[in-house]
Structure 1
Amino acid sequence: MYFRFLPLFLIFLLSVSCASDKQTKLIQDENGHRLVVDGENFVINGMNWDYFPIETNYDYSLWNESDEIIQKALDYEMQLLQKMGVNSIRVYTGIPPKWITYIYENYEIYTLLNHSFGRYGLSINDKWIAKINYADPKTQEILLDEVKEMAETYKQTPGLLIYLLGNENNYGLFWHGAETEDLPSQAELDTEIIENQARPMYRLMNKASNLIKSVDEQTLTSICNGDLMYLDVIAEECTDIDIFGINIYRGISFDDTFERVKKEYGKPLIFTEFGADAYNALLQQEDEVAQAYYFIHNWKEIYTNVYNLGKAENMLGGYSFQWSDGWWKHGQTYNLDVQDTTASWTNGGYYLDYKANQNNMNEEWFGIMTKQPPNENNLFELRPRLAYHKLKEMHQLNPFQETIGVQQINQKAKTLLRDIEVEIEEIKDQIKK
């Protein structure tokens, strides 16, 4: 079923004369960091959102469809996100500004706009460079031009919340392609790589952040790092970004992440990606219970580390990964009509299907929604997994309410976990057998 509201031309007619009066700011005081939007304390209940019908890959763009098709797709999916309590989505550049405004005005969902900052390659002198050198002057020039163009295109766009630079670009210094791989060993993080590759990259990100602010002073800036790798270098080079964003996959707990960022960097924090896949690599079957289990634990830690709750008090929120399954992500260019069950990397934090020397992370199964085959218009329906319903309940919490504290957040998580603890024990028993 697809939903339609006011005709698109009428919506834009009503909003075209409305300047962006959004007031977004960061406040730091003795109680920590907080994000304030339109005068209200704001915790980001975010979601990594994209739109790739089955049998498509990264070459597909919803924004190339007709306005009618785009609106139908957005009305269907944003309604589900809004019902879940999501108030911000992470989207890559390419989305036209009018659709950022449409999502905001119709569903009260803000957009974190992501420029990949050369993560997946760059065209330099008419030649495609897959693994770029951030110390190269020509590369720097192209990236800064792209960032400036982005800021000029999207400035004062109602619904735009944050500009985000990169996507685990520090991992891109090691990985050989766009697919997720195991993290580099400590031995690979030597001084030469730090000084010749990592430091120039972070220095350029800081320069890009300042360039954005020179064009669009109303919107906050952030970078997307892979976990806390090079945190010391980031603290030295990225002094002018507003928010530190990280993609972090540690399983049941983020451990000392909040305290380390507070102590070693001092910037407010968002998780630009985190979550769990819904496939058990040991049992070789879909496992939406385990996925929900990890998400509940993760959001509990996010909420208990926000402003004025007595813990790290530097957390602004997070973007769950991800909205719907990506059937193209393992092979990227082949088997696009098959949801691949090949685990491509390993992570011991996801202990419910972890076994030493065996991959357990399934890239095509991270959605909290499963997707159905598309119709002739590339529109498709979604089925919520258990994580959708559990996150919907978690997002009913507002850590800024006077009646909500660490105890209430922990109790909410405990109640949601109690509902699935029998299934979790059954999974453990099946693995033992």
Structure 2
Amino acid sequence: MFLPIILLVFTLNSCDTKTDKVSILKNKEGMKLVVNGEDFIINGMNWDYFPIGTNFSYSLWEQSDAFIKTALDAEMNLLKEMGVNTIRVYEGIQPQWITYIYKEYGIYTMLNHSFGRYGVAINGNWEPETDYSNANAQQGLLTEVSEMAEAYKNTPGLLLFLLGNENNYGLFWAGSETEDFPEGETEKNEIGELRGRAMYKLMNEAAIKMKEIDKNHPVAICNGDDLYIDIIAEECKDVDIYGTNMYRGKSFGDAFERVKKTLNMPILFTEFGADAFNSLTQKEDQKMQAYYMLENWKEIYENVSGLEKAGNAIGGFTFQFSDGWWKLGQTTSLDIHDNHASWANGGYALDYVKGANNMSEEWFGICAKGPTDTKGFYTLTPRAAYFALQKAHQLNPYAKGITTDLISKHFREIKI
């Protein structure tokens, strides 16, 4: 009489530990992500947990299990209600929490290794700027990503691996604070050949090693916009997905077609979005932020496989879930919500004036961050963009009968 019960328990345990089969499908209709045989659009979010007063040195994953669970339950519930199905998280999260997030909230994780973006350890010494042509740096990074693939390969809830975070930008400046680029094309090209080619070649070697270890999860790279895409085409032939942090305003322009033509890869927007602070009025501007995000998601959906456009979009990760109060100074004024714009972008015309910065790094959250309580937790207040994207993500661009006209209609009916 106990045999059926034993078999039932075995079956349930097998389901809990089942590794998802994730792959890229390419055919005459385009390119798409397939998860366990089903078409999958990534409605993603760049997610982190930094209480006001902390910075990059803080790690949620070093807190107690009880603290982590409470924090996750609060934020993942908001994400689930919004329609987010994948979060972007850097290495450091333990496999158990990837599975917890998936089992409790149905949200997958894209696991991100920075791949030397902020420095690399060589023979026990930390080098703040990575020289990708250095043999010791190469070996160290290949060892790290191989160990990551081995440790996470059987983790339920893992969707894919991501290497880097706009590492091509890191060839120009150290650290994570966004700056403006040198304007000369000659200088950019020289740096690409001198430092960038070795980096992309190493990324490809890393992808090969990781896929030898884990055959069920694709490997993407994270590039800044399309800078050095021609070098990527030559050096990254074994990478599965072209991920890009792209901030072009309301439209991604030629990005879909250029990636399709140059790389023949699916495009994944690993970061995009808009800040919620208007540099002209010097006030919070939720409507402006929501407007840009809706325009971006509309283009992503219109360019999925099976429609009449590029057919290579597989989704994106909105940047970001909550404000980063540490972003501007990195180590100073951590308890001040700084509204100074640190870089200029003419694509965001609603608050752009030539010669002036308009992008406020500490205001990119679609949720405003509240004060930290005595236990170390904080609450979030969703902005207009949260509710706008909640409506946007109700659309499945792979649903039967979907057309670009229906997508446009869906987005027109969203009231900011």
Matches within 5 A, 1:94-173: 94-173=92-171
Q: 1:58 to 1:329 in 2, by over 3 A?
A: same
Distance between the aligned counterparts of 2:300 and 2:189, measured in 1?
A: 33
Give the conservation status (yes or no) of the 8 Å contact 1:119–1:166: yes
Pairing partner for 1:345 from 340, 343, 346: 343
Distance between the aligned counterparts of 2:388 and 2:222, measured in 1?
A: 26
Q: Does 1:270 align with 2:279?
A: no
- SS of alignment partner, residue 413 of structure 2: helix
Spell out, residue by residue over 1:279-309, the C-alpha distance to the aligned partner (whole angstroms, 9 max, x if none). 0011111111100000010000000000101
| Match of residue 312 from structure 1 | 310
- SS of alignment partner, residue 126 of structure 2: strand
Give the conservation status (yes or no) of the 8 Å contact 1:84–1:388: yes
Pairing partner for 1:180 from 178, 181, 204: 178
Spell out, residue by residue over 1:119-152, the C-alpha distance to the aligned partner (whole angstroms, 9 max, x if none). 0111223332111110110110111111111111
Matches within 5 A, 1:5-404: 18-404=16-402
Distance between the aligned counterparts of 1:268 and 1:361, measured in 2?
A: 28
Point out where structure 1 has 5 or more consecutive residues left out of the alignment: 1-13, 421-433
AA at the equivalent of 2:24:
L
Give the conservation status (yes or no) of the 8 Å contact 1:397–1:404: no
- SS of alignment partner, residue 343 of structure 1: coil
Give the conservation status (yes or no) of the 8 Å contact 1:135–1:196: no
AA at the equivalent of 1:150:
M
Name segments (4+ residues, structure 1) moved above 6 Å. none
Distance between the aligned counterparts of 2:214 and 2:182, measured in 1?
A: 36
Point out where structure 2 has 5 or more consecutive residues left out of the alignment: 1-11
- SS of alignment partner, residue 197 of structure 2: helix
Distance between the aligned counterparts of 2:308 and 2:246, measured in 1?
A: 23
Residue 35 of structure 1 and its aligned partner are, at CA, apart by 1.0
Aligned identity (percent) is: 56
Distance between the aligned counterparts of 2:14 and 2:327, measured in 1?
A: 38
Spell out, residue by residue over 1:365-398, the C-alpha distance to the aligned partner (whole angstroms, 9 max, x if none). 0000011111122111110000000000000000
Residue 40 of structure 1 and its aligned partner are, at CA, apart by 1.2
Residue 193 of structure 1 and its aligned partner are, at CA, apart by 2.1
Spell out, residue by residue over 1:309-357, the C-alpha distance to the aligned partner (whole angstroms, 9 max, x if none). 1100000000000000000000011111110011000000000100011
Q: 1:152 to 1:48 in 2, by over 3 A?
A: same
Distance between the aligned counterparts of 2:192 and 2:325, measured in 1?
A: 35
Give the conservation status (yes or no) of the 8 Å contact 2:22–2:160: no
- SS of alignment partner, residue 399 of structure 1: coil
- SS of alignment partner, residue 349 of structure 1: coil
Residue 39 of structure 1 and its aligned partner are, at CA, apart by 1.8
| Match of residue 8 from structure 2 | none
- SS of alignment partner, residue 20 of structure 1: coil
Distance between the aligned counterparts of 2:190 and 2:284, measured in 1?
A: 43
TM-score, normalised relative to structure 2: 0.95
AA at the equivalent of 2:56:
Y
TM-score, normalised relative to structure 1: 0.91
User: How many residue pairs are counted as aligned between the two chains?
Assistant: 405
- SS of alignment partner, residue 261 of structure 1: helix
| Match of residue 408 from structure 2 | 410
Distance between the aligned counterparts of 1:365 and 1:96, measured in 2?
A: 28
- SS of alignment partner, residue 103 of structure 1: helix
AA at the equivalent of 2:407:
I
Spell out, residue by residue over 1:240-286, the C-alpha distance to the aligned partner (whole angstroms, 9 max, x if none). 01111000000010001000011111001100000000000111111
Distance between the aligned counterparts of 1:377 and 1:67, measured in 2?
A: 14
- SS of alignment partner, residue 77 of structure 1: helix
Deviates more, 1:35-44 or 1:16-25: 16-25
- SS of alignment partner, residue 327 of structure 1: coil
- SS of alignment partner, residue 163 of structure 1: strand
Distance between the aligned counterparts of 1:59 and 1:177, measured in 2?
A: 13
Give the conservation status (yes or no) of the 8 Å contact 1:277–1:361: yes
